[in-house]
Amino acid sequence: MAIHEYQGQGLLNEAGIPVPRGQVAETPEAARGAAVSLGGGPCVVKAQVLAGGRGKGVFDSGLKGGVHLVPNAEEVQKISSQMLGNRLRTKQTSQQGLQVDKVYVAEKIAYDRELYLSIAVDRDNRCPVIIASGHGGMNIEAAAATDANSVVRLPVPNYSQPLSEETSDKVAASLGLDKTHQQKQALRGLLTKLYDLYRSSDATLVEINPLVLTPDGQLLCLDSKFKFDSAARFRQQEIFAFGDGPSSPSSSKDALEAEAERPGFAYVRLEGNIGNIVNGAGLAMATNDAVNYLGGSCANFLDAGGRATKETMADAFRIVLSDERVKVVFVNIYGGIIHGDMVAQAIIEGVQEVGPLRVPLVVRLQGTSAAAGQKMLAECGLKIHSVNDFTEAVELAVRLAGESGPSSASGARSKRSG
């Protein structure tokens, strides 16, 4: 799970890690107020979206840059009014960009150097890794591409131990902060706290870019990005409450992705027109692969998990069908512990609850008691295309999706049954 920059800066501040003073705002007037309370001087106004590369982003209005340096509170209000309510596209967003509902107003910092510092998971070595570069800022990717040596990776093998001074001093050297005792000490203090925060918050990524060195020798985190292990939700309730779930009014996540969190689905929006409802992440991936292999494209990845109740199916139908792009719904369920007849029952009741589906429904049901379930689907009178073979089912879904243009969706439904 990712959080917004202003939330990340709050976590850093609470952990005693130096960040510029700042306030989040949802209206241009509030942004102006924030600037005034920060002293009314030069400020940075930053669009809050869950994507990086904002500095070089472009708004749908044509405005360039999701991060602006402005001289006073009046200009803060002005630029905020051009950001709020608009969509910001960056290298890390889709073509459509992300809607900006909040801006973060921070005091502008003067600095001598921009550095890059992050802690991530080193999958090969199964431990955290500290990544550091003396060439931080917006061009870090370019710097890394032209000179791989400018980015240093330092695996930290003992996850259960606090960071050693030795490791910290190595990082200091790779950041070029080893010239004076003061610099080394500043980095040691910051990195020790950052590493503690990374561990205690179950983070999988904390990225500070830029970390800046001010003329008076201080280190400050000007921008931060956090990701947390979703499996740690139960013990990181404060952090997960930040999340962009349905409970958060400002969701820059895809609306359907947020909606799908409520019933506990794993849902990812994709670019196609076949709406999938599948149980198990492995089968969901196989389904997406098969659809692509056979010439179709999926509107989503949806792992409905192990439950097969009427409520689950009705929720899944609602979510998938509320996506206007969906031209056919493909349910692919393998009954392991859940029996096929229960799954069929849930599908039938789910369809009945949601009402006549606006697009054809293809169901492939296999596994425990599959035959009983298939029989129920065939006999329920709901025009469900029940196809037992995986490939044939996918072929049919792909064909129906291709046939049903925007207006002929219901016509395609009756063409083939069973």
- Quickly list H helices, 15-152: 28-37, 73-83, 140-146
Q: Answer yes or no whether residue 287 interacts with Mn ion by CB under 5 A.
A: no
20 vs 275, beta carbon nearer Mn ion: 20
Q: Answer yes or no whether residue 223 interacts with Mn ion by CB under 5 A.
A: yes
What is the smallest separation between the CB atom of 376 and Mn ion, expressed in angstroms? 55
Q: How far apart are CA 34 and CA 25, in angstroms?
A: 7
Q: Which does 345 bind (CB under 5 to 8 A by kind): ligand GDP, Mn ion, none?
A: none
- Quickly list H helices, 103-146: 140-146
42 vs 189, beta carbon nearer ligand GDP: 42
What is the smallest separation between the CB atom of 283 and Mn ion, expressed in angstroms? 38
| From 105-113, 202-210, 294-302, 328-336, span contacting Mn ion (CB under 5 A) | 202-210
Q: Answer yes or no whether residue 209 interacts with Mn ion by CB under 5 A.
A: yes
Establish whether 5 is an annotated binding residue. Answer: no
Total number of residues binding Mn ion (CB under 5 A)? Answer: 2
Active site residues per annotation: 116, 207
Nearest CA to 360 out of 317, 392, 390 is that of 317
What is the smallest separation between the CB atom of 2 and Mn ion, expressed in angstroms? 14
Nearest CA to 65 out of 81, 75, 54, 73 is that of 54
| From 156-164, 205-213, 334-342, 404-412, span contacting Mn ion (CB under 5 A) | 205-213
Nearest CA to 393 out of 351, 320, 332 is that of 332
- Cβ-based neighbours of 120, under 8 Å, separated by 6 or more: 128, 129, 131, 204, 205, 207
Which residue type occupies 119? I
223 vs 303, beta carbon nearer ligand GDP: 223
Q: Which does 78 bind (CB under 5 to 8 A by kind): Mn ion, ligand GDP, none?
A: none
Nearest CA to 66 out of 82, 52, 44, 46 is that of 46
| From 174-182, 215-223, 274-282, 294-302, span contacting Mn ion (CB under 5 A) | 215-223
- Cβ-based neighbours of 380, under 8 Å, separated by 6 or more: 344, 348
67 vs 376, beta carbon nearer ligand GDP: 67
Check: CB of residue 112 under 8 Å from CB of residue 83.
no
223 vs 259, beta carbon nearer Mn ion: 223
Establish whether 353 is an annotated binding residue. Answer: no
> What is the distance in angstroms between the CA of the first residue and the CA of the last residue of the chain?
41
Query: Interface with ligand GDP by CB under 6 A: which residues?
Result: 20, 44, 46, 52-55, 67, 69, 108-109, 114, 137-138, 209-210, 222-223
Establish whether 229 is an annotated binding residue. Answer: no
What is the smallest separation between the CB atom of 44 and ligand GDP, expressed in angstroms? 4
Within 270-358, strands assigned E span 274-278, 300-303, 328-335
Establish whether 209 is an annotated binding residue. Answer: yes
What is the smallest separation between the CB atom of 137 and Mn ion, expressed in angstroms? 7
5 vs 303, beta carbon nearer ligand GDP: 5
Establish whether 349 is an annotated binding residue. Answer: no
Cα distances (Å, whole numbers) of residue 100 to 52, 82, 96, 113: 13, 10, 12, 29
Establish whether 217 is an annotated binding residue. Answer: no
Quote the tokens at residue 251. Answer: 């969701």
Helix (H, G, I), strand (E, B) or coil at 68: strand
Give the binding site for Mn ion (CB under 5 A): 209, 223
- Residues marked as binding for ATP? 46, 53-55, 114
